[in-house]
Structure 1
Amino acid sequence: MIRAADIQDGRLRGDEPRRIDPRVHEANRRSRLETGDVVVVLVGRVGEAALVEAEFHHWNASRTVAVIRTREPDEAAWLNLWLGSPAVRAWCERQATASTLQRTLSVTALRKLPVPIPPAGLRAHLLRAMRLLEEKAATNARITECAMQLSDAHFAREASDGTPWPERPLASLVHITAGTAPRPRPDHDGAMSEPGTAFVAPADILQSTSPHLYATERRLPRGKEGRVCAPGSLLVASREDGVRAVMNHVPAAIGRNVLALEPESVSDAHWLLHELRSRSAEMAATAQGSAGRELSRKAFAATAVSWPPQEVREQFARLAGRLRERARIAENESERLRELRGRLLDGFLSGTFPKGPLPDDQGVQPEGGLALSGPQGIS
């Protein structure tokens, strides 16, 4: 089953799928996915979209996701591109309703989204250019994934070399703080005011594709963030299937159900980050509540870890640090590609891309529409 959390950075992720009973799947045929559908987040990061690839054919969609079915593949690709533009994301934010927990975009509101429909020839020209950017971004994502896997593999080798290391409780290795910062409230246009301090909610950790956190979507105004975690801290959140940890690289205020672990050194931070990653499912026992999201600071602090000598930790940190730097280069390039994607789309809609007329260049229609199909997901 696809959930809102499975739609990230314009792609569907199926590495941690939730499963449903086949009878539930059969009873909810309207939300069954077809290759080429466009799925849109309705709860949380409203408006984020992705194309359904063959891998997800006949999966189902939860009620946190809208399913859009178009007549032609190019229409779906264009709609997915349009939904990913900053202007549309801002439109979705303005249409969303806020609650104490998260923002929600209704299917009724999404149906009213104006969609410009360019002629097929013009559209194909732009989509070819966008596919080149997406292919490069996919390569960068693979680089980041490989760097993370290599770090995990080297940690596993070091941790399993048979050396009997002493066990120490986490409380003796880090200072642990429970999050209390208030969740930011969006202003009138749905965007967070700038400047401010990065606000980290459990979703920022649980939905991160990297163990390193460089930015968040929401910020708290200066003076209202309370205690701020310094860069190099480990931020931890949990759900029923395991604990997730990231190392933050910006000052951050943490919200409820987030723990901040502040190690004594960078080498300690790298080692503990991978220790937590390797024991994700086991450490879910330190959480409370039916969904396993309420981390117990006391239980977490009492967790014992095998603690290697300083030279082992420092040697691992040097290797993990180099891999992180390579991954960050790829991530920075992908961020620039996303900016370029937005500029190309803006230029296309304003008539400055492509250079020179195409045979079927009739201009871009100011408004059009594509029908929503199967918007109801599974509860």
Structure 2
Amino acid sequence: MLAIFKFLKVFVHTVSFYLLTTPTQQPVNPTIFPSDVTVIVPSVGEFDDEFVECIETIVANGPRRIIVCTVGVAKQTKAKQVCSEISSRHLNARITVLSLALANKRAQFLRGVSAARTEIIAYADDHVFWPPTFLKSALAPLEDQRVGLVGTVKRVRRDRSGGFWKSLLNYIACLYLERHNFDCTATYNLDGGVFVISGRTALIRTNIVHHVDFRREFQNETWLWGTVGPMKVDDDNCITRWLVNHGWKIVFHNSPDAVVETTLGTTGGFEKFRGQLLRWARTTWRSNSTSLFSDRTCWTAHPWTTYAMFISSFFNIALIYDPLLILALYRSGYTRHMYSLLLAILLSKLIKPIEHLRREPQDIMVMLPQGIIFGYVHSLFKIWAFFTARNIEWSGRKGIK
């Protein structure tokens, strides 16, 4: 039973990812254009070179307007200065800078939403980089009026500078998003479900986020039957669940023309990355338990995703699960199959990194073993996250209480 629960998902997802992925093609005569999109960029950053590159790649896609929403007078002044310089280099850039008194990504997003007048809203972190084909490709699924939210493939830029440890953190970040892409693509192909559309970049219909019920729930989300919150974290999970619960179709658009790049694991050192890992792990415990036991729409809307992602996430702790597999086989008396089991466990850990390793073959010999070891180390993060899931701080990010 342990083997079936683990390896059935691995086998089915591998088949789904490699044989069933068919991204929506851009129509010959589209009805939605980049000029129908407002891009919202919440930021508490320093408006450095990464921010400039982020905005310039968005400008290259030709949206009608970009709204940067930051925090405080000083950051607003700095953002206006930087965005003015960008606008002077790109005559088609229309950039508005707004500000709130306190750092709150949800409130910053809704502040931008209030100023949006287009049919579609795209939201993006301030350190993501779009290809010039991004909007045209990602808008294709929204030609279907039943589609309310579109997510795309995210990829971490590989950075080997700064020594071994910095390179290792960056490699682990690469694997984190590769796993996300693999699982979202596989489950979407099978039953149209995704466990989350990442907030790094996504597209949503404006009438959804203008709806008073959405705004109320988005600003006042709590967990554990109202005992924890309201929350600033887990914003992308909240958006994904809201659309599922209200009958909207969600698309995970795995197209080469819509691959978004980002930077992770390259700044702030281990302490920042550790905070991010804990925040992401806590989100998994909170959001998946909400989907399973509070909202419960996922059980009927996306049954495979419910098993493969929501339920499996509670048991996918390699430091516990893999020894249990080995112990169960040992106690069964069929120890002659032990090498086969160990090989199966190893292969299951190689499937999701394959796409990264195909692009970066130099990581195979040095980083691949480290990544497998980190999978067991990450189990400790997941266990600690379980016991500290009531902690809703935005760990790994400075300036947010």
* TM-score category (smaller protein): under 0.3
Q: Which has the larger radius of gyration?
A: 1
Which of the two has greater helix per residue? 2
With normalisation by structure 1, the TM-score equals 0.25
Larger relative contact order, structure 1 or 2 (CA cutoff 8 Å, min sep 6): 1
TM-score by length of 2: 0.24
